[in-house]
Amino acid sequence: MKKVVFIGKFNTAFEDINNYLANYLNVQMCVDNVEMVKGILRLNQPELVIVSMIGFGPESSVIFEELKSDRVEVPVVCIGTQEEQELFSEALQEKRFHTITSPADNDEILRVVFELLGIDDELETKRVIRPMGQRKCVMLIDDSAFLLRTLNEMLKDKYDVMLATSGMKALTMIGQRVPDIIFLDYAMPMCDGVMTMQMIREVEEAKDIPIVFLTGVCDKEHIEAVLELRPAGYLLKPPSAKSIYKFLDKYLED
């Protein structure tokens, strides 16, 4: 599927558009933080960028400055009210920027996106059906592929397992299926565990999911900082099967 980066504030409108587009496109969500935008654009090399301007203020102009200077060949679709469009009118005058006035129908957004991506094949535009598993779902978020593989082998026979190597990938996946519990690496590059947890809590359907931090540091100050975030718990890395199942038994077993 075509690769798209979707930038915006994590609000209801943002979630609704993302959940719809994720049925047709490989959508990578990104919070409206200029440093994260820089990283996501370089790591993902998208074929199109979508910006939800809903909730943007004058301080968000740095996002458009970054888009104007990076990957200048990539089209940008900007969704916002007439007032929000006027606020960033200078940037939106560039030919590669395309505006959709909010509130907008998701089908209309998809039509514009498909047109800019040159998608006209019936097979490409067909909705992707993602079967929902009958088992409980465990999400593992860690930048270590080795640890993810290890934990996946430990859990896959009993649970549906979702693996994410970054907070942004995790948010995209949560838009497709909400897990029953999350094990989250506390220290990750770019979007760390703290920021990832905060963004997950902004998603209405995911705000009550138990989140267990995985941390490789066991000094008192570090552990106290972890506990201040009020997670469901924490585990020292690498976690043992016994410690993992302790939380699974507590939160998932009836």
DSSP-derived secondary structure for 173-195: HHTT---SEEEEES--SSS-HHH
Q: Using the Cα atoms of residue 84, residue 197, residue 12 and residue 99 in order, give the sign of their dihedral.
A: positive
List, for residues 33-54, the tens digit of each pLDDT value. Answer: 888 888 888 877 889 999 999 8
Q: Which of 7-16, 60-69, 118-127, 175-184 has the lowest mean pLDDT?
A: 118-127
pLDDT computed for residue 116 by the predictor: 92
Q: Give the model's confidence band at 130: pLDDT under 50 very low, under 70 low, under 90 confident, else very high.
A: very low
Distance CA 134, CA 236 (A): 30
CATH of 137-252, one of 3.40.50.10490, 3.10.310.30, 3.40.50.740, 3.40.50.2300: 3.40.50.2300
pLDDT computed for residue 129 by the predictor: 37
- Residue 120: helix, strand or coil by DSSP? coil
Position 86 pLDDT exceeds 70: yes
Provide, rounded to the nearest whole percent, the portion of the chain with pLDDT above 70.
89
- Residue 252: helix, strand or coil by DSSP? helix
pLDDT computed for residue 226 by the predictor: 66
Q: CATH code for 3-125?
A: 3.40.50.2300
Structure tokens at 108: 């209309």
Q: What average pLDDT is seen over the chain?
A: 83
Please state the pTM of the whole predicted model: 0.53
Higher pLDDT, 248 or 11: 248
Q: Which of 138, 96, 119, 108 is nearest to 26 (CA)?
A: 119
Residue 113 CA to chain centroid, in angstroms? 19
Q: Using the Cα atoms of residue 114, residue 116, residue 120 and residue 121 in order, give the sign of their dihedral.
A: negative
Phi, psi of 234, deg, nearest 5: -145, 155
CATH 3.40.50.2300, the chain: domain bounds: 3-125, 137-252
Residue 172 CA to chain centroid, in angstroms? 4
List, for residues 194-253, the tens digit of each pLDDT value. Answer: 888 888 888 888 888 999 988 876 666 666 766 777 888 888 888 888 889 989 998 987
